[in-house]
Chain A
Amino acid sequence: MDSVLSACGLNGKKEKVQEERHLRANDREFNLSFKYANNAIKTSKYNIFTFLPLNLFEQFQRLANAYFVFLLILQLIPAISSLSWFTTVVPLLLVLCITLAKDGTDDINRHKNDRQVNNRRVDVLIDGQLKSEKWMNVQVGDIIKLENNQFVTVRTLTLLYTSSDPGTNLKVKQALTVTGDLGDNIDTLAAFDGEVHCEAPNNRLDKFTGTLTVQGETYALDNERILLRGCTLRNTEWCFGLVLFGGPDTKLMQNSGKSVFKRTSIDHLMNVLVLFIFGLLACMCTTLAIGNGIWEHQQGTSFTAFLPRQDGANAAFSGFLSFWSYVIILNTVVPISLYVSVEILRLGNSYFIDWDRKMYHTKTDTPAQARTTTLNEELGQIKYIFSDKTGTLTQNIMTFNSQDVLNKKVDFSWNSLADTKFCFHDHALVEAVKQGSSEVHAFFRLLALCHTVMPEEKTEGQLFYQAQSPDEGALVTAARNFGFVFRTRTPETISVVEMGINITYELLAVLDFNNVRKRMSVIVRSPDGRLTLYCKGADTIIYERLHPSCSKVMEVTTEHLNVSLRTLALAYKDLDEAEFEQWRERHHEASTALEDREEKLDAIYEEIEKDLMLIGATAVEDKLQDGVPQTIEQLAQADIKIWVLTGDKQETAENIGYSCNMLREEMTEVFIIAADTAEGVKEELAYGLQKDFQLELLRTACMCQTVICCRVTPLQKAQVVELVKKYKKAVTLAIGDGANDVSMIKAAHIGVGISGQEGMQAVLSSDFSFAQFRYLQRLLLVHGHWSYLRMCKFLCYFFYKNFSFTFVHFWYGFFCGFSAQTVYDEWFITMYNLVYTALPIIGLSLFDQDVNDRWSMQYPQLYAPGQKNQYFNKMTFVKILLHSCYSSLILFFIPYAAMQDTVRDDGKDIADYQSFALLAQTCLLVVVNVQLGLDTYYWTAVNHFFLWGSLSVFFAITFTMYSNGMYLIFTSSFPFIGTARNSLNQPNVWLTIFLTTLLCVLPVVALRFLLIQLRPTINDKILKSKGKKLDKMEVRYKVRQAKAVLPPPPRRFPRRRISTRRSGYAFSHARGYGDLVTSGRFLRRPVKTRLTLFPLVESPLAENSPQTYRSIGEGAQRS
């Protein structure tokens, strides 16, 4: 259910069901008259009866399967049929079955999820009582009760406050006053009969319009009042809601299933190639058809004594028939089973990602997850990474790292103490604070007072702070740990426990934070009547407003703070009572102004925030995630460009840039440009993305080693990604963790979600997800690299084996009157792709690795071939084509020449068609298997098993099919009886097989060897050096027990930068809770239940498996 109006009703009666929704609280009958969807959801596609027909229908809509059917029809025409029907039916059935099985499992999972979701319990107000009901039975118009941390079943109108935290994706939802007043009194709620008029179901998460009519009064409803399905209630004990939309009408469901299907570049290339192959097929068939026409004209007519023609047939007609016959037998050039195989191996490689323990985060028990199983190889081709900052690079956890308390009254000699970096785990410091001077106390007092944090004291002494930004939380927590505990607040007071003494300050004004001001202040009156303004803000901003007497200390204050930290300057000012009263009046005036209120307020604030006295500075560490700098450096070495797109301001972004190695000391020269660009981007982005600056922007940005875009809106993030995608034709990856990254994640070729603290939205729209940024390195350099390598090898080999297989028919055409006579046994044709060659290549493409994971990480250069698309492109394809042309020539003409006119060693026939077919197919199978062996770098037991197994299976099956028994049972199906026995015992047959194999393979070996010598690729070099190192290692190992295997870890670059001072303001750019704090609306209840904030973590689909949606959709589009 999408929305609940909590204990609010809306009045309004319009009957347009399509455009408008009309419902009345607590009136099921009335609401049922509209036949709104109830809350049962159904994401499954089939039921038991529809599964088979529907799924088959879908499958036959795919091009590949349709092509099979077309072939089958051709084969049923006797004049054309050059192959028995089973050669097509068997593979088709297999493909259909695999897909059926896959779709079936997916759908069963969806059924399970549906059932699980539908059977969840929620309290529904029925007949004046709260009853626990299944979700699926909740109706539009019901009033339901939601409790903290529950999933929201429906869209609700809330009674109570909700608070929003952009950082953690919490949203404030607040009930209308009229409904809020209903409270939690069941009777009043049950009597509530408000009516709602609202928009029809749609998928916009951020908009809602409607009205609520209660007792004749109409109130407007907007998004603030609505709870969406899939959200979780946080920091709210309970909330009543009125169900607005149910099940399929909810915004969540309206949004799901509409994900864009991503295709990899190899998919696109494959489509092009398949078209090309169709062309090739047409060419070959035309050539052979023309050949057939000519042959018929010249020879066939005179051969009629033995080959009577159908009546009325002439050469041209015969050519025409022969064209279609050849379409049938040459159809194997279009590798239809390719798509199935590709999916299998991508699935396999996705499982390897899921299974990787090195991408498993122990702390959160989160394994990596490949949510889209069709993009793996693209991971090996990434050229640009777009990263979010908060929560992605950083942990979104702020640690109060150090501080400076400067006391201007004290000599500078005192600074030595003040300069010390304090750490709040340091108990000695706590002692120092206890004995400390008033300045130190002032410092912490400020931290405890000047903020908009909401405290929540659930049990005595257990305080929870609800902060608008993590920085604020960190600061207040720090103060708390130093003995200045912020306890409770009311609109007029702030209670603080200062060193164990309860003190209540009168809160006179909150000068809230905003982007322009970059500071916030509070004005408080202490119990002894002193009026003080406490201000904290960005150091640069504060310095401008300091009293001249502070000038000397300014410099010293923050310089020595670690530059990678977010620094804040703290200042205070004692106010004169009269002066303040005057200011207060003007402030009141401004705050009630109707026009330009913001500006006026700012001006008023400006007036009083001057001549401040500096108390000190704090540094909050925006904690980087583990391993971020190393990861970024590694990725940079792999020639992957990393762009950080952040909503943060420039200074913060820069700081992060330095701390995670993106900006470095030795980049000083570069830095200026980079910085300019960063700014440029920031400023120009808005234009750039719309106007002709696009290219200019891109050019500049791409010249930079590092690009940091600050102050980017989610939409702009996506636009930047689109821009790069469009003009650079490079593979992009976007990584982020929050709802604001979703657009970017969806826009990029590959979206990666950090399954971390910020809700699930990013993860749900991502293709891959894991818990830590540093896993990106492994995902790309190891899994991406391998997947790409495997996919390319797979494609190369697959095309090779099918071309070699098929071209032999082409050559044979010239020797059999272009009659579409197959070279091989029909059974061999049926089984070639399905049985004989299927497993070895799957083994290769699941297990192959050029170097192991540690070496992949060690040598990021190995990543380059993927980026340059070197392993599989049109050029490679042409090479494969030529190679298989060569192989097929050998495969046909060597047996041809060897068998010409020869006989068995007992003088009997061996140059007959059946023996020749067997010889040709044996040669082919041996050749393609040896070729596969040559392509395999990494021979696991599985590879051995598959390869030798396939060869043995070939011989086993061949001997079985050509055995007496099979012939006696299925006489006409196995006419090759005895062929294997009669020809495979001949030495010259084996000599021919041997010759053919070596002739096919040796040139490849020689060529590869020479290329390694003459034009070694990066791989060759590394492999070679690896070999050397391994040798050395062994030696070393013998000498002294195992030494470090890997070369030393990459240098860490110094983090510090001296030349430019960077300062950051710890607050994030959103507005604070100032309004909420002063409005006092949340104070109507006793303390414990007073704070009824419900930040909602949006986690749509958390319980459904979106991976399923994706693959299904993908499947449906696949051709």
Chain B
Amino acid sequence: MKSEGEFVNQPDNTAFTQQRLPAWQPMLSAGIVIPLFTLIGLAFIGIGVALFITSQNIKVQELDYTGTATSSPCFQCSGLSIQNCTCERNFSLSELFEGPVFFYYGLSNYYQNYRQYGVSKDDYQLSGDTTYFLKPQSYCSPYQYSNNKPIVPCGSIANSMFNDTFRLYLLVNGSRKQVPFDGKGIAWWTDYNIKYRNPSPVNGSFAAAFDGTTKPVNWQKSAYELDPTDQANNGFLNQDFLVWMRRAALPNFRKLYGRITGGDYSQGLPAGNYTLQISYNYPVLSFGGTKKVVFSNVSWMGGKNQFLGIAYLVIGSLCVVMAIVMLIVYAKYKFPDNDDA
């Protein structure tokens, strides 16, 4: 650069303006690609084996209790008009079902992910904002008002809350011994502690906070009566309610009902004959759905899911095969290295 006047318009000489920024220029050369595929393939096979074995070790016991078949014990309950029906399903375990055992209910063909269904709730209500108790948001429609009274909790999701209840008995010497479900701690910590909040009691009465509102049309009890025995599990903080409100991504889903952890069952469910007593309330036959219960234990990779393991195995193998193919192709077809390309 000489005197300033002379080259006023000269562009700056920086790596950026001259497009000379130092750069890494990787190339898809055989030396990189083929080892890469081999390594990935081997790693995948390894992961796949681990996943597969883990998944195999997870025990799952499923019982369908929809009652579609006439032979099914719950058949008599599946009629639409029948109320307060109870049915029982027996099953036996030949060996110890290692704990902790989780007890799920499952629904199929149930579209919790339907858009209009999904938006049909009022987050303000559920976070305990009482101004929205009397004036629910319009998303909740048509479960916004009932008999000119605002519904709390409003909306389709809350309204359609799953209301079958289960009791599990272990048959010991001909007598039934109830296996307790732990219904606490089945919802997400954030849901229980942050997202959902009960309204503050009015004049010391929790129920009074719900004054002027009505329960969802399908509910038999009001929200403040969901678990009168335990205030921490009552109202919007009822864990079954929380689990239900976390709507499923897919039309077939299962939701946690309770854990079997207590007392004698901390090691799991011992071998033996069991009876599951179902209080059958929830109608699914009308839309072709099914109901089931699932006993399952978990591993580090969550519940039983064969897919991941198999997928890893298959893709790992494919990678290795691909590496071999590429090696062959490279050896056979690599284009001549003319310097004058």
Q: Are A1022 and B341 in contact (CB under 8 A)?
A: yes
Cβ-neighbour of B123 out of A901, A917, A972, A1023 (below 8 A): A972
Cα A1032 to Cα B277 in complex, Å, equals 80
Q: Are B259 and A367 in contact (CB under 8 A)?
A: no
A293 CB to closest chain B CB, in angstroms? 15
**A941 in contact with B191 given A308-B156, A815-B251, A907-B259 (CB within 8 Å):** no
Q: Are A978 and B118 in contact (CB under 8 A)?
A: no
Using an 8 Å CB-CB cutoff, how does the interface string of B324-341 with A read, 1 for contact, 0 for none? 011001100111011111
Q: Which of A359-407 contact B (CB under 8 A)?
A: 360, 362, 365-367
Q: Are B298 and A905 in contact (CB under 8 A)?
A: yes
**A360 in contact with B300 given A305-B286, A909-B243, A1013-B335 (CB within 8 Å):** no
A391 CB to closest chain B CB, in angstroms? 20
B300 CB to closest chain A CB, in angstroms? 6
Cβ of A876 under 8 Å from chain B: no
Cβ of B111 under 8 Å from chain A: yes
Q: Are B10 and A1014 in contact (CB under 8 A)?
A: no
Q: Quick one: closest B residue to A321, CB to CB?
A: B116
Q: Which of A1068-1084 contact B (CB under 8 A)?
A: none
A310 CB to closest chain B CB, in angstroms? 8
Q: Are B11 and A365 in contact (CB under 8 A)?
A: no
B-chain residues with CB within 8 Å of residue A1027 when the two chains form the complex: 27, 29
B-chain residues with CB within 8 Å of residue A847 when the two chains form the complex: 19, 21, 23
Q: Which of B119-175 contact A (CB under 8 A)?
A: 123-124, 127, 129, 137-138, 142-143, 156, 159-160
Cα A968 to Cα B27 in complex, Å, equals 49
A533 CB to closest chain B CB, in angstroms? 50
Q: Quick one: closest A residue to B192, CB to CB?
A: A978
Give how many B residues have a beta carbon under 8 Å from the other chain's beta carbons.
Answer: 107
Q: Are A911 and B249 in contact (CB under 8 A)?
A: yes
Q: Are A941 and B21 in contact (CB under 8 A)?
A: yes
B269 CB to closest chain A CB, in angstroms? 15
B-chain residues with CB within 8 Å of residue A852 when the two chains form the complex: 20
Q: Quick one: closest B residue to A311, CB to CB?
A: B142
Cβ of A542 under 8 Å from chain B: no
Cβ-neighbour of A819 out of B10, B13, B116, B138 (below 8 A): B116
B214 CB to closest chain A CB, in angstroms? 17
Cβ-neighbour of A938 out of B25, B138, B246 (below 8 A): B25
Q: Are A978 and B329 in contact (CB under 8 A)?
A: no
Q: Which of A936-984 contact B (CB under 8 A)?
A: 937-943, 964, 967-968, 971-972, 975, 977-978, 981-982
B-chain residues with CB within 8 Å of residue A859 when the two chains form the complex: 341
Q: Are B301 and A325 in contact (CB under 8 A)?
A: no
Q: Quick one: closest A residue to B217, CB to CB?
A: A308
Q: Are B298 and A903 in contact (CB under 8 A)?
A: yes
Cα A653 to Cα B138 in complex, Å, equals 81
Cα A938 to Cα B249 in complex, Å, equals 40
Q: Are B298 and A906 in contact (CB under 8 A)?
A: yes
Cβ of A1008 under 8 Å from chain B: yes
Q: Are B188 and A909 in contact (CB under 8 A)?
A: yes
Cβ of A886 under 8 Å from chain B: no
Cα A308 to Cα B249 in complex, Å, equals 20
Q: Which of A1027-1065 contact B (CB under 8 A)?
A: 1027-1029
B-chain residues with CB within 8 Å of residue A1024 when the two chains form the complex: 27, 29, 335, 337, 341
Binds A, one of B1-9, B82-90, B202-210, B228-236: B1-9
Binds B, one of A17-25, A53-61, A584-592, A985-993: A985-993
B-chain residues with CB within 8 Å of residue A637 when the two chains form the complex: none
Cβ of B302 under 8 Å from chain A: yes
A770 CB to closest chain B CB, in angstroms? 12
Cβ-neighbour of B10 out of A357, A987, A1018, A1029 (below 8 A): A357
Q: Quick one: closest B residue to A994, CB to CB?
A: B47
Q: Are A356 and B194 in contact (CB under 8 A)?
A: no
Cα A967 to Cα B195 in complex, Å, equals 7
A307 CB to closest chain B CB, in angstroms? 5
Cα A173 to Cα B146 in complex, Å, equals 93
B-chain residues with CB within 8 Å of residue A906 when the two chains form the complex: 298
Q: Are A902 and B127 in contact (CB under 8 A)?
A: no
Cβ of A910 under 8 Å from chain B: yes
Binds A, one of B63-71, B219-227, B304-312: B304-312
Cβ-neighbour of B188 out of A815, A908, A992, A1029 (below 8 A): A908
Q: Are A902 and B312 in contact (CB under 8 A)?
A: no
Cβ of A312 under 8 Å from chain B: no
Using an 8 Å CB-CB cutoff, how does the interface string of A276-304 with B read, 1 for contact, 0 for none? 00000000000000000000000100110
Q: Are B102 and A903 in contact (CB under 8 A)?
A: yes
B302 CB to closest chain A CB, in angstroms? 5
Using an 8 Å CB-CB cutoff, how does the interface string of B15-26 with A read, 1 for contact, 0 for none? 001111111111
Q: Are A987 and B113 in contact (CB under 8 A)?
A: no
Q: Which of B260-298 contact A (CB under 8 A)?
A: 283, 286-288, 296, 298
B-chain residues with CB within 8 Å of residue A1013 when the two chains form the complex: 30, 326, 329-330, 333-335
Cβ-neighbour of A1028 out of B8, B28, B113, B337 (below 8 A): B337
Q: Are B329 and A900 in contact (CB under 8 A)?
A: no
Cβ of A897 under 8 Å from chain B: yes
Cβ-neighbour of A978 out of B110, B111, B190 (below 8 A): B190
Q: Quick one: closest A residue to B312, CB to CB?
A: A995
Cβ-neighbour of A987 out of B17, B115, B300 (below 8 A): B300
Cα A870 to Cα B100 in complex, Å, equals 61
Most chain A CB neighbours (cut-off 10 Å) among B21, B106, B111, B187? B111
Cβ of B319 under 8 Å from chain A: yes
B-chain residues with CB within 8 Å of residue A1012 when the two chains form the complex: 28
Cα A299 to Cα B191 in complex, Å, equals 31
Q: Are B339 and A907 in contact (CB under 8 A)?
A: no
A-chain residues with CB within 8 Å of residue B53 when the two chains form the complex: none
**A978 in contact with B27 given A352-B19, A913-B118 (CB within 8 Å):** no
Cβ of A257 under 8 Å from chain B: no
Cβ of B241 under 8 Å from chain A: no
Q: Are B33 and A1005 in contact (CB under 8 A)?
A: yes
Cβ-neighbour of B194 out of A310, A352, A977 (below 8 A): A977
Cβ of B247 under 8 Å from chain A: yes
Cα A978 to Cα B195 in complex, Å, equals 9
Q: Are B113 and A913 in contact (CB under 8 A)?
A: yes
Cβ of A219 under 8 Å from chain B: no
Cβ-neighbour of B302 out of A815, A853, A905 (below 8 A): A905
Cβ-neighbour of B24 out of A78, A308, A939, A1029 (below 8 A): A939
**A901 in contact with B305 given A365-B6, A908-B186, A913-B247 (CB within 8 Å):** yes
A-chain residues with CB within 8 Å of residue B25 when the two chains form the complex: 937-939
Using an 8 Å CB-CB cutoff, how does the interface string of A993-1004 with B read, 1 for contact, 0 for none? 001001100100
Q: Are B249 and A916 in contact (CB under 8 A)?
A: yes
**A909 in contact with B246 given A847-B19, A1013-B330 (CB within 8 Å):** yes
Most chain B CB neighbours (cut-off 10 Å) among A859, A913, A915? A913
A992 CB to closest chain B CB, in angstroms? 7
Q: Are A978 and B127 in contact (CB under 8 A)?
A: no
**A991 in contact with B302 given A306-B117, A900-B307, A978-B195 (CB within 8 Å):** no
Cβ-neighbour of A912 out of B51, B123, B247, B329 (below 8 A): B247
B-chain residues with CB within 8 Å of residue A355 when the two chains form the complex: 11-12, 17-18
* Extra pairs beyond A817-B114, A913-B118, A998-B44 (4, CB < 8 Å): A821-B113, A916-B249, A975-B195, A995-B312
Q: Can you pick out 29 interface pairs between chain A and chain B where the beta carbons lie within 8 Å of each other?
A: A306-B110, A306-B160, A307-B114, A355-B11, A357-B18, A367-B9, A786-B19, A815-B251, A820-B115, A897-B307, A899-B250, A902-B304, A903-B102, A909-B187, A943-B23, A964-B190, A971-B127, A975-B195, A978-B191, A998-B40, A1006-B37, A1008-B28, A1010-B325, A1013-B330, A1013-B334, A1014-B329, A1024-B341, A1025-B339, A1029-B339
Binding site for B on A (CB under 8 A): 78, 82, 299, 302-303, 305-308, 310, 325, 352, 354-358, 360, 362, 365-367, 786, 815-817, 819-821, 847, 849, 852-853, 859, 861, 894, 896-917, 937-943, 964, 967-968, 971-972, 975, 977-978, 981-982, 986-988, 991-992, 995, 998-999, 1002, 1005-1006, 1008-1010, 1012-1014, 1016, 1018, 1020-1025, 1027-1029
